[in-house]
Chains A and B, each alone.
Chain A
Amino acid sequence: MSNVEFTERLEAALTVPMTAAQQMAVDARVAGAVARRQQRASGWFRLTTRTAVLLALLVFVALPTAVFAAAEYFGGSESPFGLAEPNEYNRELDAAKADTPIPAGFTWPASLRAKNDVVYSRGGGRMQVEYIAICMWQVDWLDARAAADTQRQSEDQRVIASIPTWSSYGPPFADQSYTDVLDRVIAAVGRDDPAPVAANVAQNCKGVRR
């Protein structure tokens, strides 16, 4: 093997991107860290900037334009999300898991739990849960289609078509780019076109499986 070929392999091994779930986990922790710093109101993080910092962080993390929609929705200058301690965040995850449908045979990843000593953004838990569930339904639809299981495929399609009614699809969580992706998936499932769904699963749902 040439050195160039070897360094290409090495680069590929060391630049595997973060998964969406990993991104959200770090985003939530950093947003929490920023918020804790704001709460201490020290240094340049004065109380007057706390909303700006939190919102700005969220702009670049999981909830792009949703933040502005949320601020408008709540009509105040404080963060619309607030903070959640690990216990509260776990309760949020549990509540979301309890009322979010997933296909038969799938289970929630055990990693979907809050870490101790971390402050989370309130509302992020439900978004995480629904994001993973949406992936599961897409995977199940592809599997059902591949197995020519029309009954299961039809049930999966019904659930996928209902995604626009889920919390994470609307304000204050989703932005246009997020809903555009889901709309393309819903449309593809509706016309029985697996390619866009498979592409989305490969891009955004890596590792989600039974």
Chain B
Amino acid sequence: MEASSFAGTAHDESQIQPALADDERLALGARSNPTAFATLYGRHRESVFRYLRARSTNDDDALDLTAVTFERALIALPKYRSIGAGFAAWLLRIARNAAVDHGRRQRARPAPAALVEAESQPADDDPEAAAMASDEHRRLRALVRALPEPQRDALALRYSVGLTARQIGAVIGKSEEATQKLLTRALSELKEAYGHEQR
């Protein structure tokens, strides 16, 4: 069935569990052992950035927000409690809140249609970043950003970070079942929009 094949891609829970447990150990240890924070930072820096880039209109914003996320995590870490979804979900929730705060400050910014154009223009002052993104990648990311926020978040967390539906639910505040439905619907809409662009 096409719809369920969307939702079932990759991400085997049994493989994720050991990493989760190790993160939990480090996160709890980081309260008294600062080296553990460095390990967590090294482990999750890329994921946080990818998630934020999937939400942001440009890489600079994603970089800023990545730094903000870890700064906030640093402050909140002593209060960290394992809630079963893992440290990554906790951290990405911080990232999401940072992105939402940033979005509120940028409310006067262009609507989604304009965002496609904004990203398709390579940034003159960041040749590395500009070269990294192929046209198709930029187009797909722009389409993801044009989705309603819950769908955009779910897809970004699934395909840029590799979270399970349960973990995504913990980040966006929905049940696993509701998240699964959201993912399926979001992928269908995204694929349709992508198909329209291709025609």
User: What residues of chain A have their CB less than 8 Å away from a CB belonging to chain B?
Assistant: 1, 3-4, 6-7, 9-23, 25-27, 29-30, 33-34, 37, 43-45, 49, 52-53, 56-57, 59-61, 109-111, 115, 118, 205-209
Secondary structure of the A side of the interface?
A: helix
B141 beta carbon closer than 8 Å to chain A: yes
Contact B131 A12 (CB under 8 A): no
Task: Determine the chain B residues whose CB is within 8 A of the CB of A44 once the complex forms.
Answer: 31-32, 34, 77-78
User: What residues of chain B have their CB less than 8 Å away from a CB belonging to chain A?
Assistant: 2-3, 5-6, 9, 31-32, 34-35, 37-39, 41-42, 45-46, 49-50, 53-54, 59-60, 63-64, 66-67, 70-71, 74-75, 77-78, 123-133, 136-138, 140-141, 144, 155-156, 159-160, 187, 190-191, 194-195
Task: Determine the chain B residues whose CB is within 8 A of the CB of A4 once the complex forms.
Answer: 5, 9
Q: B127's contact among A20, A61, A109, by CB below 8 Å, is which?
A: A109
Secondary structure of the B side of the interface?
A: helix
B125 closest partner in A (C-beta): A110
In the bound complex, CA of A118 to CA of B67 (Å): 10
Task: Determine the chain B residues whose CB is within 8 A of the CB of A206 once the complex forms.
Answer: 128, 131-132
Q: A57-B38, A59-B38 are in contact. Are A209 and B191 (CB under 8 A)?
A: no
Q: A43's contact among B9, B41, B78, B127, by CB below 8 Å, is which?
A: B78
Given contacts A6-B187, A53-B38, 19 further A-B contacts (CB under 8 A): A1-B191, A3-B6, A6-B194, A7-B159, A9-B140, A10-B159, A10-B190, A14-B54, A14-B159, A17-B132, A21-B128, A26-B67, A29-B63, A30-B41, A37-B74, A44-B31, A53-B37, A56-B38, A209-B131
